A = this chain, B = another copy of it.
């Protein structure tokens, strides 16, 4: 009841500079990441904006947030309606890209099949989820999901790495004067490109009822 009862210090003012204590830094990261994502989702809702965020934690873990209309964007992207269709250029490259897209679409379909399969398997307790999900849960990272995700994703690392190196090669060769890829090589752990992440993030899985995507790739 007395004044001395106060045991919490409340919010302290802090300088905006690197937090030195590792544990504290981690906590701060966690909290602020959550806060950032939440703000982002609010922005989306309030203003009808689309937002994609990629965060690379100091531990080379990447977190992403995305909110939009999934299928539309993805479709547009696949059909190329978004970026280049307006161009009249009928170059060899375009043709090849056309093919590439085609293949890509095939792969996509495949993926969807997989999703279906998975959904079936998941059906059993799929309903559990719908019970306690608040709207904001949809926009923020589901922690347990994230944690488990991390573990599993490691198995995917190799794959990503392989893909990445290809991209690196392409990018490096293409942008000779552009050494961003190399700069990126901080620990041999190179995050996969987040280019067009914008589009990517925009594309949620239709398999779920979530309006936002939050993904975590362990790099």
Name A residues whose Cβ lies closer than 8 Å to a Cβ of B.
Answer: 14, 16-19, 25-26, 28-29, 32-33, 35-36, 39-40, 42-43, 45-58, 62, 68-69, 72-73, 76-77, 80-84, 86-87, 89-94, 96-97, 99-101, 103-104, 106-108, 110-111, 114-115, 117-118, 121-122, 125, 128-129, 135-175, 177-178, 180-181, 183-184, 186, 191-210, 215-217
Contact = CB atoms under 8 A, between A and B. Distances in A.
A17 B45 contact: yes
B141 A91 contact: no
30 contacts: A17-B46, A19-B47, A32-B39, A36-B40, A36-B51, A43-B55, A52-B55, A56-B204, A76-B177, A80-B175, A80-B177, A89-B174, A96-B170, A100-B101, A100-B163, A103-B104, A104-B160, A106-B162, A110-B159, A111-B111, A115-B146, A140-B145, A140-B147, A143-B149, A144-B151, A146-B207, A147-B153, A180-B202, A194-B195, A197-B201
Given A29-B47, A83-B195, A147-B215, 5 more contacts: A25-B46, A81-B175, A87-B171, A96-B173, A100-B101
B58 A47 contact: yes
A168 B110 contact: no
B193 A198 contact: yes
Contacts of A92: 90, 94, 173-174
Contacts of A89: 171, 174
A186 B136 CA distance: 29
B100 A104 contact: yes
A9 B157 CA distance: 48
A199 B48 CA distance: 26
A184 to B, nearest CB: 7
